[in-house]
Amino acid sequence: MTTNDSIEAANVSPNVAKLEANLTRVEELTQRLLKVMGHGRHVAPALQGPSQELYLKAATAYMTEMMHNPAKLLEHQLQFWSKSVKHYVEAQHLLAQGKLEPPTDETPKDRRFSHELWETNPYFNFIKQQYLMNASAVQQAVEDIETLDSEEKKRLRYFSQQIVDMVSPTNFLPTNPEALALAAETEGESLVAGLENLIADLEANDGDLVVTLADKKAFKLGENLATTPGSVVFRNHLFELIQYAPTTDMVYSTPLIIFPPWINKFYILDLKPQNSLIKWAVDQGYTVFVVSWVNPNPGYRETSMTDYVESGYLTAINEVKDICGVKKVNAVGYCIAGTTLALTLALMKKRKDTSVNAVTFFTTLTDFSDRGEVGVFLDDDFVDGIEAEVAETGILDSFFMSRTFSYLRSNDLIYGPAIKSYMMGKAPPAFDLLYWNGDGTNLPAKMSVEYLRGLCQHDKFATDGFEIAGEVVKLDEVTVPLCAIACETDHIAAWKSSYAGVQQMGSKDKTFILSGSGHIAGIVNPPSKNKYGYYTNPEMGLTADDWLDAADQHEGSWWPTWDKWLSQKSGKKIAAREPGDADHPVLAPAPGTYVVAK
């Protein structure tokens, strides 16, 4: 054996040993995987996807149009086959010439295929091009169906796209060049790490596959999230009331109470000092209270929308009035909490209760005639399934809520993170927003059905009236001065629907602000970031499109504009208030106990 042979053998031996060790580890992990995979919950077919009726209607419509207009569909098929076969022939021709290079690539740019091998390697480029051509053909076939009504067409478009996204070659190891290259580079260690990540996620969720989006060990509430100083000054079975410590010597006399959605936890508004809306509001001189909702267990089965209004909103408002010694408060409602705040205000109007001086709505829907992207999950096939699920369990488990919202952005919140974690063995990032996103809450059975049926499906608040606390309330009974903030690319509360609801409210004093970005980033947008921008237009009698066309565009955050509006509704300055009083002793430091309870 030569010296070079000895050196080569010495270099190869550790690599072979490492590979053998990884293969042994895979065998061990496979046993754990098989064990945990049998533990996942049974998910009813009604909660797995749309009913077969949608696809049957689509197939019938497609066949009917084929009979009546065969030329149109034939043209579509010929266009697809022409592109696909032409690409295949060009690839074969180059290969026959001994050229290991891809043919001309005219497919659209797609960030899923950003790795250079999708462009330079003829095998992977061929797979990518054929996939994108097929995806385009499916999309065009859906658009060519003309006999479905608009809602059915919207649902078919969405769910067909979900199937197309699911079968992307990036989602499978043999056709993902980045994952394969990393596996070769690490002698399979990346695949072992990925399998460990997969099993860890399954074991953490009792056999349900929930992709971990953020490093759960990187954050702890009260230490590096939800750190704004304050105290719990009231608690009942539905919520804890947090009052934040002042940072200014003087504060506005009218306190501000924020109602976050109970679909998620309140600390989205207090992630860290740099982007905390709560801290920022305190620093502007407001006495800020926040409601931290309980995470319901099956014992909350019969908790209703009326309970949230009576024992939640009205109780919280009265406690703030007592603590601060005032007759009126200003209130904020975010998402579903804004919807319920509007119901509360309409009820207070009937009761001649003037405790709320002015109100702010963050990304709030009150008119559900156009339910936006999330509307694909609000037809009877899904809602019937939810109703059956909550009747059995007493709650709508956070598992279902999280999965639904994740599928609205599946490439970003499911497939992309799964690829990085399971195929490439990468640890999830220490990202506060994604950590919050994975910290879900349950919903009470009765409240869930009331909300989905009465508001989302039947749109009663904006039409015939919604029954709450023994009264039938309507949208035009919201008459207090209001400011509404919607987000331009919001996939949960479409801004045009939010605008339509504000238009129907009875308030004479209305301000509407359209923020850039989406449901979360558009709201959690501190001035220091100088991001996204926003639009304003005082004319509320226009259509949504005309409102935006005539609106003034501004750079940066909408927070200072809101502050200017809110400060004018908040009374004179007085000496700063410390949390609680003699009748409201401090029960716990912020962020409280409900937000950390499991």
CATH code, domain carrying 385 = 3.40.50.1820
Q: Over the chain, what is the mean pLDDT?
A: 90
Please check whether residue 23 lies inside any domain of the structure. Answer: no
Compute the radius of gyration of the chain from its Cα atoms: 28
Query: What 3-state class would DSSP assign to 18?
Result: helix
Q: CA 345, 347, 349, 355 torsion: positive or negative?
A: negative
pLDDT at residue 151, rounded to an integer: 84
Pick the closest to residue 326 from 434, 254, 428 (CA basis): 254
Per-residue pLDDT of 48-104, as tens digits, reads: 777 677 667 667 766 666 666 666 666 666 677 677 777 778 777 777 777 778 888
Is residue 576 a contact partner of residue 251, using CB atoms and an 8 Å limit? yes
pLDDT at residue 1, rounded to an integer: 45
Q: Are residues 560 and 493 in the same domain?
A: yes
The H or E element spanning position 584 is none
pLDDT at residue 75, rounded to an integer: 65
Please check whether residue 27 lies inside any domain of the structure. Answer: no
Q: Are residues 273 and 126 in the same domain?
A: no
Please check whether residue 433 lies inside any domain of the structure. Answer: no
At 573, phi and psi to the nearest 5?
-85, 140
Residues of the domain holding 156: 38-185
pLDDT at residue 17, rounded to an integer: 72
Please check whether residue 201 lies inside any domain of the structure. Answer: no
Q: State the catalytic residue, choosing from 324, 335, 483, 487.
A: 335
The H or E element spanning position 464 is none
pLDDT at residue 8, rounded to an integer: 47
Domain termination residue (choose one: 153, 185, 217):
185
Domain termination residue (choose one: 185, 218, 238):
185
Query: What 3-state class would DSSP assign to 317?
Result: helix
Q: Are residues 477 and 589 in the same domain?
A: yes
Q: Are residues 179 and 234 in the same domain?
A: no
Please state, in angstroms and rounded to a whole number, the distance separating the CA atoms of residues 523 and 519: 7
Domain termination residue (choose one: 130, 151, 185):
185
Q: Are residues 59 and 141 in the same domain?
A: yes
The number of domains in the chain is 2
The H or E element spanning position 500 is helix 495-504
Catalytic residue at 324?
Answer: no
Q: Are residues 170 and 260 in the same domain?
A: no
Please state, in angstroms and rounded to a whole number, the distance separating the CA atoms of residues 339 and 333: 7
pLDDT at residue 81, rounded to an integer: 63
Exposure pattern of 27-61 as b/e (b: 16+ CB <10 Å)?
eeeeebbeebeeeeeeeeebbebbeeebeebbeeb
Pick the closest to residue 383 from 16, 9, 47 (CA basis): 47
Please check whether residue 567 lies inside any domain of the structure. Answer: yes
Q: Give the residues of the chain that fall short of pLDDT 50.
A: 1-3, 5-10, 12
pLDDT at residue 57, rounded to an integer: 66
